[in-house]
């Protein structure tokens, strides 16, 4: 008896080219439309503001997390270390306004109390960072 | 004479590995990019330890922020939407949030004040 030879699986004839084209389009879109941000030590969900002027959120930024923890330029700091650190930064950048990235849910008095403690370090004007758009 | 027909070359480039790398890149950029449009709200900080002793000319309004999005301008309750019309242009306002007011509420008030064109300073309400 002659057994039928097992059928070879059909060659996959799915045309990959349109899918690749589309995926390249997406890749280029995501590369150009987004900005890469370094990983943060603490998650900060910024407040929204309609009146904010465009600003750069990276670099030497004072961070205030929702639970009140503070950081500067990406590293966590104790509150007692902060004035010395800010004073040193102020010496290197005498003109630049201090940028403050604080969580939308943090107590406003906490932020103001921190900033008032930095007046001795020469901080009188700050830029509060916010996401632009109506809240 | 026979002319040999040009033989069609088989497409021998394997695109699978290329597609794999491309998908890795695609996922990387999808997950690692941030689309937040960042902005800055410039404010002055008042009070604190090294109080500058310059006398402030003109009348300074005190705007207290109470928990629950209540506002008190010089002791009188005001509504956020009417804040801009209550204040004269070139007014000076000290924004004083009380404990328990989230930062978002303060930024919303500052937005209204900035739209009204007043100059503002941050302070803390004395209990």
Tokens coding A126: 């700050």
Interface check B101 vs A, CB under 8 A: yes
Pairing of strands B38-45, B119-122: parallel
Residues 71-90, chain B, touching A (beta carbon < 8 A): none
CATH number for the domain whose boundaries are A61-128? 3.30.420.270
Domain coordinates in residue numbering, chain A: 61-128
Q: Nearest CA to B96 among B88, B87, B104, B106?
A: B106
With b for 16 or more beta-carbon neighbours within 10 A and e for fewer, the B31-57 pattern comes to eeeeebebbbbbbebbbbeeeeeeeee
Containing H/E element for B77? Answer: strand B76-78
The pLDDT, as a whole number, for residue A7 is 67
**Whether residue B126 has pLDDT greater than 80:** no
pLDDT range class, residue B53, cuts 50, 70, 90: very low
**Percent of chain A predicted with pLDDT > 90:** 21
> Which burial class, exposed, middle or buried, applies to A109 when counting CB atoms under 10 A from its CB (0-12, 13-18, 19+)?
buried
Rounded distance, CA A110 to CA A117, Å? 11
CB-CB: which of A33, A54, A124 is closest to B45? A124
**Whether residue B24 has pLDDT greater than 90:** yes
Interface test with B, best of A44, A103, A130, A135 (most B CBs within 10 A): A130
ipTM of the complex: 0.75
The pLDDT, as a whole number, for residue A59 is 79
Rounded distance, CA A74 to CA A107, Å? 21
The pLDDT, as a whole number, for residue A129 is 92
Rounded distance, CA B116 to CA A26, Å? 43
If you average pLDDT over every residue of chain B, what do you get?
Answer: 81
Provide the whole-model pTM: 0.75
Q: Where are the alpha helices (DSSP H) in B1-127?
A: 16-32, 83-86, 103-116
């Amino acid at each position: 008896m002659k057994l039928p030879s097992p059928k070879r699986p059909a060659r996959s004839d799915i045309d990959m080219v349109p899918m690749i084209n589309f995926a390249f389009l997406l890749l280029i879109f995501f590369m150009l439309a987004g900005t890469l941000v370094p990983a943060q030590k603490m998650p900060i969900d910024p407040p929204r503001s309609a009146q904010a002027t465009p600003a750069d959120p990276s670099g030497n930024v004072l961070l205030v997390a929702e639970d009140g923890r503070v950081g500067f330029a990406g590293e966590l700091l104790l509150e007692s270390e902060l004035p010395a650190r800010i004073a040193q930064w102020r010496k290197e950048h005498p003109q630049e306004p201090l940028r403050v990235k604080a969580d939308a849910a943090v107590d406003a008095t906490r932020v103001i109390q921190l900033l008032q403690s930095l007046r001795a370090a020469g901080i009188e004007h700050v830029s509060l960072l916010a996401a632009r758009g109506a809240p | 004479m026979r002319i040999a027909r040009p033989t069609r070359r088989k497409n021998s480039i394997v695109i699978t590995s290329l597609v794999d790398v491309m998908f890795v890149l695609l996922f990387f950029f999808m997950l690692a990019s941030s689309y937040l449009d960042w902005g800055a709200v410039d404010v002055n900080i008042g009070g604190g330890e090294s109080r500058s002793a310059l006398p402030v000319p003109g009348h300074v309004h005190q705007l207290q922020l109470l928990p629950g999005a209540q506002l008190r301008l010089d002791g009188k309750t005001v509504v956020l939407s009417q804040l801009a019309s209550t204040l004269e242009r070139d007014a000076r306002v000290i924004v004083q949030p009380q404990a328990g007011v989230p930062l978002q509420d303060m930024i919303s008030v500052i937005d209204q004040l900035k739209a009204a064109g007043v100059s503002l300073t941050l302070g803390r309400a004395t209990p």
